[in-house]
Chain A
Amino acid sequence: MKSVVRKLLAHSAIRFGMSVLGLLILLAALAPWLGTVDPAAMDSANINTQAGVAGQFTLLDGTSLAHTFWMGSDNFGRDIYSRVLYGTRVSLLVGLLTAVVALLAGGLLGMLAGYFRTLDMVLMRFMDGLMAIPAILLAIALVAAMGAKLWTVIVAIAIPEIPRVTRLVRSLVLTLREEPFVEAAKALATPTPVILLRHILPNAMAPLIVQGTFIAASAVLTEAILSFLGLGLPADIPTWGNIMAEGRVQFTQYPGNVLFPALFLVPTVLAINLLGDGLRDVLDPKFAKRSAG
């Protein structure tokens, strides 16, 4: 166990990814104490303030406080810096929960398909169909059908990811079920759920964690894309995507409203992707070789 941690920390991509993510989690957690105001508050006296200007911000209840507009304000007089910091919370949450939902659903379905051959045929045909629909379009259609709330957006982004997880887990189960330790467990009349959870799942963990990391990275991007298209979370929940979506209207005069959130979004996705690459190198060397070749 100790050696795994040491190996992980010896990998520069993992160190970089973890540091950036750690910093972001810190920013998200400490957002209220970092010189921010209510991200949804609109101050009509501060419409389209330039970045870096120090001034007064009047909250909804009328209290006025000294405030520096580090990233300027938007056309509703909302502080971009506050919105971006609070947006970090939503973006990280969407990334994490999407990965969890996709791994749980895909993991369960993959184990069922891999272990119960009768289910396999039907389930995998369904997965083939899901994979034939371009991921973003499927997410768009799902959001359109379910409405844009936090959990619907997460589910809509997770569903297109499920077939890949299912395939991965299924192929792992198909290999693992032939292993002697599984046959031994079967010979001892171990109940099937116990075999799946105690004997097969732990051996499938490493590739799942790697896959989950990549799903989280793509979920953060997809959420931003959905929000950017105006199909994601409503504007009272600030996310990097919907800050950019609202900044889009006056991009030519005030490019900062699009570019500042991007300065957070891009390093975040990059950090998660690098973390995933690193985890793959360390935890799942077989997979790393396979995908490189």
Chain B
Amino acid sequence: MQRLLALVPVLFTVAVIVFLILRLTPGDPAAVIAGNNATNEDIDRIREQLGLTRPLLTQFMIWLGNVVQGDLGYSFYLNKPVTELIAQRIEPTLSLAAGTMLLAVLVAVPLGTLAAWRMGGWLDRILSGFAVAGFSVPVFVIGYVLIYVFAIELQWLPVQGYRRLFGASSQGLGAWAYQLVLPWCSLATIYVALIARVTRASVSEALTEDYIRTARAKGITEQMVLLRHALANAAVPIVTVVGIGIALLIGGVVVTETVYAIPGLGSLTVDAVLNRDFPVIQGVVLFFSLLYVLINLLVDLSYLWLDPRIRY
């Protein structure tokens, strides 16, 4: 409960920042919010609704009151409430993000553990090289190289697009996953680099502990030593970096959706910026920040389960 309350000031500050960003634009905020397609009546209505003639603090309170009630404003460009737009676009984004995270963890944790087990070995050296390189390649370059090789040259996988998992137009799990293989792999690269590096550091530290020597002395298999003793004790930093990496993942999602023409929240954001559709930009930034903060709350709570010594 205390952890949950600690989020309130953070989210409040996020709201202040998101509110103020719009005010950086020169000109009438009502006209900015209304966008290029709005009529004069629209602009007047917004000015009335958001109390834009009143002091800045009152405006903020009105806006915040709406946001807290789940009203993120109205996109005059797309003629829809922002919450509805986000709801429509959330499935592709969650598919991309969750799949990437799962793939990255499944690849990075075993690799990092093995690298720590045989530190200085060939796997370790390849992995540490990859870790630096992974941070230096933008995700869209990886995306285009993968498209070039697997979709254009080899023609194994589709170039772009998205097939829904749920809803009337769904073609089932297979079609959904087939379409997402390349996006998952592109986005997972940087995440694998991040997680593998931390896993290696964390497991290698655990391996120097006395209980590892004791475990080996008991004669249990090396697999069990790694899994039950080293990895289990190295879990907290790994889970932490998975949580911190969500910010990186969200940035990557925006780019990957553009590369693969996936109609998710990322492409919604990019379109909103190009159309100067500010309610959508604000809504998406708020939504992603809330998601990021909540996931890190879950990460914090998972420590209790991963390491019973931790108490809040």
Contacts and interface: CB of A to CB of B under 8 A. Distances in A.
B13 interface: yes
B273 A144 contact: yes
B254 interface: yes
A134 B273 contact: no
Interface stretch (B83-91, B173-181, B276-284): B276-284
Contacts of A143: 273
Interface string B135-161: 111111100110110001000000100
Interface residues of A, number: 46
Interface string A242-277: 001000100110010011001001110110011001
Contact of B250 (A130, A136, A142): A136
A266 B141 contact: yes
Nearest to B13: A129
A152 B9 CA distance: 28
Nearest to B274: A230
Given A269-B136, A273-B136, A274-B132, A259 B255 contact: no
Contacts of A208: none
A255 B146 CA distance: 12
B278 A144 contact: yes
A251 B145 CA distance: 10
A94 interface: no
A225 B140 contact: yes
A231 B258 contact: no
Contact of A228 (B9, B138, B148, B285): B138
| Best-buried of A130, A144, A270, A274 by chain B (most CB within 10 Å) | A144
Contacts of A130: 13, 17
Contacts of B255: 136, 225, 228-229
Given A129-B16, A146-B25, A258-B144, A137 B285 contact: yes
B10 interface: yes
A138 B182 CA distance: 27
A196 interface: no
Contact of A221 (B13, B138, B289): B138
B263 to A, nearest CB: 15
Given A137-B254, A145-B25, A255-B148, A128 B9 contact: yes
Given A128-B10, A137-B250, A225-B255, A270 B133 contact: yes
B136 A229 contact: no
A75 to B, nearest CB: 17
B18 interface: yes
B265 to A, nearest CB: 10
Interface in A88-136: 125-126, 128-130, 132-136
Contacts of B144: 248, 251, 255, 258-259, 262
Contacts of B10: 125, 128-129, 132
Contacts of B31: none
A150 interface: no
Contact of A138 (B9, B13, B270, B285): B285
A142 B24 contact: yes
A141 interface: yes
A217 interface: yes
B21 A142 contact: yes
Nearest to B282: A141
Interface string B106-139: 0000000000000000000000000011011111
Given A145-B25, A231-B270, A251-B147, A134 B136 contact: no
| Best-buried of A132, A221, A230 by chain B (most CB within 10 Å) | A132
Contacts of A252: 152, 159
A293 interface: yes
A293 B236 CA distance: 13
B269 interface: yes
5 contacts: A136-B250, A144-B278, A225-B140, A259-B145, A270-B133
Given A132-B10, A269-B137, 16 more contacts: A125-B10, A129-B10, A132-B293, A133-B292, A136-B251, A136-B254, A144-B278, A144-B281, A146-B25, A229-B255, A229-B270, A251-B148, A252-B159, A262-B144, A262-B145, A292-B201
